[in-house]
Amino acid sequence: MTAIDTYLHAIVVRAVREAREDASATVEAQHLLLGIADEPEATVREVLTSAGLDHRALREALGREFEHSLQTVGVSAAAHRLPRPSPACEQPKLGASAKLAMERGFASVSRKRDLRPAHLLLGVLQAQLGTVPRALALAGVDQAALLAQLRQELETTRDGGVARARGAAG
Amino acid sequence: MPGPENSAENPALQEPADALAAVAALRRLADQLEDAAVEQAMRAGWSWPQVAEALGVTRQAVHKKHAKRLIAAGVTLRRRGDDRD
């Protein structure tokens, strides 16, 4: 198992937990992003922190996006007073937006061994439509600038041995 | 803010992105509401056929979607022919 398999596994496990938290039958790009937000990799940390995006801030932004999208058709999520349902037993499956984010992340490197968690973040941030870009916009985050910063960080650390230091080249 | 009474004049919905995001959010809300409402009904002693008829779906569909979760949650489910009405 290569280092990225280990990272990827840890991120996906966290994303699945986030999907369950949302009672979602599928793991979507926003769950992947939440999973990435808890990632200790330096590049990921630096880029997300610079935009004030930790796990909690992302959850708040996603909650606001949900409320905001419902409000455009005059609906409030708080309108029903039913108790929170028991969690599903089935493991949430990888949804379309998460698959797309992963494909974009994988496509950003020519060799799999170069792949790092930051490339997954790159894949998530490349989306111009959907829940993640809407949530970031509502949180006042300049997604294009964040993406540019991430690309630059990846470029400067590409040959810096960050991946090798973590044993990814092995 | 424009008059909220006429949705055709609601500028928010003139943006396709807003309308499409509303669809995604409504689906998510409907799923959450269904999970909560079915659980509440079954805890209150409703039968699968009753819940299915109220939802406008088949008994098999509602059973397949919710039975495992409710059994795991320890909800006592009514068996067929168990008439307590």
Query: If you average pLDDT over residues B60-85, what whole number do you get?
Result: 82
The per-residue pLDDT for B4 is 42
Phi and psi at residue A93, in whole multiples of 5°?
Answer: -90, 160
Q: How many CB pairs under 8 A join A and B?
A: 79
pLDDT at B63 over 60: yes
Give the ipTM: 0.84
Q: Which of B29, B39, B72 has the CB atom closest to A75's CB atom?
A: B29
pLDDT band at A113 (very low <50, low <70, confident <90, very high): confident
Q: Where are the domains of chain B?
A: 16-72
Q: For A115-154, what is each residue's pLDDT tens digit?
A: 999 999 999 999 999 999 999 999 999 999 999 999 999 9
Question: Chain B contact for A66, CB < 8 A?
Answer: yes
pLDDT at A167 over 70: no
| Bridge partner residues of A26 (DSSP) | A93
For residues B20 and A114, the model is more confident at B20
Per CB-CB distance under 8 Å, the chain B contacts of A26 are none
**Rg of chain A, C-alpha, whole Å:** 17
For residues A59 and A161, the model is more confident at A59
Q: How far apart (Å, rounded) are the C-alpha atoms in residues B47 and A169?
A: 58
Closest approach of B6 to chain A, Cα-based (Å): 11
Q: How far apart (Å, rounded) are the C-alpha atoms in residues A89 and A12?
A: 18
Q: How far apart (Å, rounded) are the C-alpha atoms in residues B65 and B45?
A: 18
Q: Where are the domains of chain A?
A: 3-75+93-165
- The fold of the A3-75+93-165 domain, in CATH, is Double Clp-N motif (1.10.1780)
pLDDT at B35 over 80: yes
Query: If you average pLDDT over residues A68-90, what whole number do you get?
Result: 87
Q: How far apart (Å, rounded) are the C-alpha atoms in residues B75 and A3?
A: 43
pLDDT at A169 over 70: no
Averaged pLDDT score across all residues of chain A:
90
3-state secondary structure B22-77: HHHHHHHHHHHHHHHHHHHHHHCCCCHHHHHHHHCCCHHHHHHHHHHHHHHCCCCC
The per-residue pLDDT for A50 is 95
pLDDT band at B10 (very low <50, low <70, confident <90, very high): low
Closest approach of B57 to chain A, Cα-based (Å): 19
The per-residue pLDDT for A3 is 78
Query: If you average pLDDT over residues B4-15, what whole number do you get?
Result: 52
**DSSP count for chain A of H helices, then E strands:** 9, 2
Query: If you average pLDDT over residues A11-34, what whole number do you get?
Result: 95
8 Å CB contact of A23 and B19: no
